[in-house]
Structures are given as C-alpha cells and as structure tokens.
C-alpha cells in the first residue's frame, strides 16, 4: 500500500484541534448572514486572502475576528458537526477538542451556549458515527489570571462535559507559570491539564508547563529540541507532544516542512503525534498534515503507524479503550 493510502485508512485520534479553527470560509460567510454580523469580507476568496500569516499573533487576530459569527448554540453545533463528519471520513475515531470560552464570553455569548452546542454535536457523533471524544477548555493566556478563574468557575458546573483544561493564545511573554494557581485549582477540581508550550516560546516555557502546571501533554513543544536534557526528560517520562506541521509552516515557525522535527522526535523516543491545530486556517485536516509532513521528511510506513498508535497512547481514553488500537 502506498503511504498516502495507509494514512487514509489508519485509525487515528486527533488531540490538538481548536474547534473555532475549523470554521471554513463558506460557513463563516453563511453564519455572518444568518446572524447579521458584519465581516470585512464578502467572498470566500476575500476570506482566504486574509490567511497569510507572519507569526502566531497575525493568525490569532484573524481567528478571533472569524469566530465573531458564532452566536447561537446551533452555530456551535453546526461548526462541530461539520468538523466531526469531515474527519470521520479521514479515519479519525477519537477526538480531544479544544474550545476557547473566554473569547466568546467577552463578546456576550454565554458559556452554556458554547458548551451546549459543542457537546451535543459530540454526543450525536458518538451515537451516529461511533466516534469517542473529550473536551478540553483552554484558558486564553493573553488575558489575566482572574479572567481564567472566571472560566474555571463556569467549567466546574459542567464537569460531566469537560475533561481537561488547556492554555492557548499568544505565547510570547506569557509563560505558563502566570497560570500556576489556576491550573492547581483546576487539577484539584479533577480536571486533567495540557498546555501549548514551545510553539513560539522558549524551551523554558515547556519546563514550567511540566513543573508548575503539571500537564499530562505538551501542545506543540517544537522548541524542546533547543535543550537536549529536556528532550531526554520528556522521552523518559513518555510525555506526549501534540505536533501540528502545517500550523508550524503557516505561522512561520519553520520555513519549509522539511525542517519539521517530527522524525527527530520519533528518533529521540518521544511520544509524538500529528494533528491539525486550526485546519481551516492552515490548509489541511489531520490526514493532510500526515501526508505533507511524511512526504517532506520522508516518514516510513512503520513511522506513520507509530504516529497513529501514539495518538491513542497519548489520548485521555482509558487503558482498556486504547487497547483496541494498539
Ligand atoms: C492557536 Cl496555533 C495556536 N496557537 C496558540 N493558540 C491558539 N489558539 C488557536 N490556535
Ligand atoms: Zn493549538
């Protein structure tokens, strides 16, 4: 079997996916119309023309503007359902989805509207497509600790729907330790923890995500390779890394996919995984990420199988549920 067909049929889990980053231009324009929201774009081509980014912040500005069309519970349901149907066709059997409630609450959209729409779509996908899922609520790191505590208080009322907390948005100058107290309280309330670290920020931010936030996974983690002792530690601990090749390319963390450290991560014995991050904005869903990075760095069939198995190993599924895929 050729490698692209192997990627198509392998069962996979997706562990690094911002649901707001799956908003396709067509749906953005349709929801803008449905909800009477003004956008600076009128056509799909105009939307796509805005997807030229020099860094993470460039992208985030467009991403927060795009999500302004999401107002009602049905919008969040439709968004989530469209993503799940898409990746069901790519062999994805399990998803762990990030959402950014603070970005919606600051626009006057209620926490329960966001959570209600996303979680009913996950329930439908479980019932109709046999897809399993977990939800991860991210704190926006450009906002302060108090704002994060507000989101955590909302999450505590809905523990049956939220499995873990995460940390995303602008990384530079916003080290994980600013949120140590929020994460300590979240963990005390029974949530697992993950955090974006080492996407643009230095290796030291990965270390404080591990030591201060006590995360179970590191999202991105690319800059770990600047510190060999950290790579050795993460390999020894089998600390998962959720890597996102097309995201790194589009946000200029790398200038060519050939530079992507996914193969280096496997060679170092890290529990690395491939994910799409914000597929609508970065030009590909999970299989496009696997295929393009596989072609660029020359992954073997065995390495691709390892990455797919890693996605289940690194997931929050029970050991029993993981076994079916290992
Ligand atoms: C994100 Cl690529 C990326 N990095 C950090 N935060 C994010 N939120 C959505 N996409
Ligand atoms: Zn991300």
Active site residues: 199
Kindly report the number of other CB atoms within 10 A of residue 244's CB atom.
Answer: 30
- Tens digit of pLDDT per residue, the chain (326 long)? 899 999 999 999 999 999 999 999 999 999 999 999 999 999 999 999 999 999 999 999 999 999 999 999 999 999 999 999 999 999 999 999 999 999 999 999 999 999 999 999 999 999 999 999 999 999 999 999 999 999 999 999 999 999 999 999 999 999 999 999 999 999 999 999 999 999 999 999 999 999 999 999 999 999 999 999 999 999 999 999 999 999 999 999 999 999 999 999 999 999 999 999 999 999 999 999 999 999 999 999 999 999 999 999 999 999 999 999 99
Whole-angstrom CA distances from 252 to 52, 58, 80, 237 are 10, 11, 27, 29
Under a CB-based contact definition with an 8 Å cutoff, are residues 180 and 212 in contact? yes
The CATH number of 3-314 is 3.20.20.140
The CB of 168 under 6 Å from ligand 1? The reply is yes
Phi then psi dihedrals of residue 193, to 5 deg = -130, 140
Residue with tokens 């404080």: 208
CB under 5 Å of ion ligand 2: residues: 277
Radius of gyration of the chain (CA): 18
- Give 199's DSSP letter: S
The reply to whether 61 sits in an annotated binding site is: no
Whole-angstrom Cα distance, residue 28 to residue 51?
14
Q: Look up the pTM and report it.
A: 0.98
Residue nearest to atom 3 of ligand 1 (CA): 169
Q: What are the residue ranges spanned by the domains of the chain?
A: 3-314
**3-state DSSP assignment of residue 93:** strand
18 labelled binding-site residue: yes
What SS3 class is residue 187? helix
ipTM: 0.98
Q: Name the closest-CA residue to atom 8, ligand 1.
A: 169
DSSP string across 125-177: HHHHH--EEEEEEEEETTS-HHHHHHHHHHHHTTTTT--EEEEES--TT--GG
The number of the ligand 1 atom at minimal distance from the alpha carbon of 100 is 8
Which residue lies with its CA nearest to atom 7 of ligand 1? 169
Handedness of CA 222, 168, 275, 233 (dihedral sign): positive
- Nearest-CA residue for ligand 1 atom 1 is 169
Rounded-to-integer distance, Cα 187 and Cα 184, Å: 5
Q: At what angle do helices 180-188 and 145-156 cross, to 10 degrees?
A: 10
- Ligand 1 binding pocket mutation candidate from 15, 23, 63 (most atoms within 8 A of CB): 63
C-beta contacts of 124-129 below 8 A and 24+ residues apart: 124/81, 124/84, 125/81, 125/84, 125/88, 129/84, 129/85, 129/88
196 is in an annotated binding site: yes
Q: Is 253 in the pocket of ligand 1 (CB under 6 A)?
A: no
Closest atom of ligand 1 relative to the 244 alpha carbon: 2
Per-position b or e across 185-206, b if 16+ CB within 10 A of its CB: bbbeeebbbbbbbbbbbbbbbb
Rounded Cα–Cα distance for residues 134 and 315 (Å): 9
Number of the ligand closest to the Cα of 218: 2
**Distance (Å) from CA 169 to ligand 1 centroid:** 5
């Amino acid at each position: 079997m050729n490698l692209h067909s192997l990627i198509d049929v392998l069962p996979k889990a997706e562990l690094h996916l911002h649901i707001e980053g799956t908003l396709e231009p067509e749906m953005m324009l349709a929801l803008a119309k449905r909800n009477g929201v003004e956008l600076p774009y009128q056509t799909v081509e105009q939307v796509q023309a805005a997807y030229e980014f020099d860094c993470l912040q460039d992208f985030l500005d467009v991403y927060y503007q795009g999500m302004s069309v999401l107002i009602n519970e049905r919008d969040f349901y439709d968004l989530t359902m469209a993503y799940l149907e898409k990746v069901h066709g790519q062999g994805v059997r399990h998803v762990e989805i990030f959402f950014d409630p603070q970005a919606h609450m600051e626009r006057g959209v209620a926490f329960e509207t966001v959570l209600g729409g996303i979680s009913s779509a996950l329930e439908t996908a479980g019932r109709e497509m046999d897809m399993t899922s977990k939800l991860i609520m991210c704190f926006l790191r450009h906002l302060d600790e108090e704002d994060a505590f507000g989101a955590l208080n909302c999450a505590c009322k809905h523990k049956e729907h939220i499995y873990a907390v995460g940390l995303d948005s602008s990384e530079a100058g916003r080290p994980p330790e600013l949120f140590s107290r929020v994460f300590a309280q979240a963990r005390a309330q029974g949530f697992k923890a993950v955090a974006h670290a080492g996407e643009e920020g230095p290796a030291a931010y990965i270390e404080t995500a591990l030591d201060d936030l006590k995360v179970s996974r590191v999202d991105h983690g690319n800059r770990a390779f600047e510190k060999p002792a950290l790579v050795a530690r993460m390999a020894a601990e089998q600390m998962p890394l959720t890597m996102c090749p097309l995201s790194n390319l589009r946000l200029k963390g790398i200038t060519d996919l050939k530079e992507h450290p996914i193969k280096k991560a496997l060679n170092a014995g890290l529990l690395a995984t491939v994910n799409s991050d914000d597929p609508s904005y970065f030009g590909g869903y999970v299989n496009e990420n696997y295929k393009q990075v596989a072609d660029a760095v020359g992954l073997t069939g065995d390495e691709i199988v390892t990455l797919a198995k890693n996605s289940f190993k690194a997931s929050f599924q029970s050991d029993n549920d993981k076994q079916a895929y290992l």
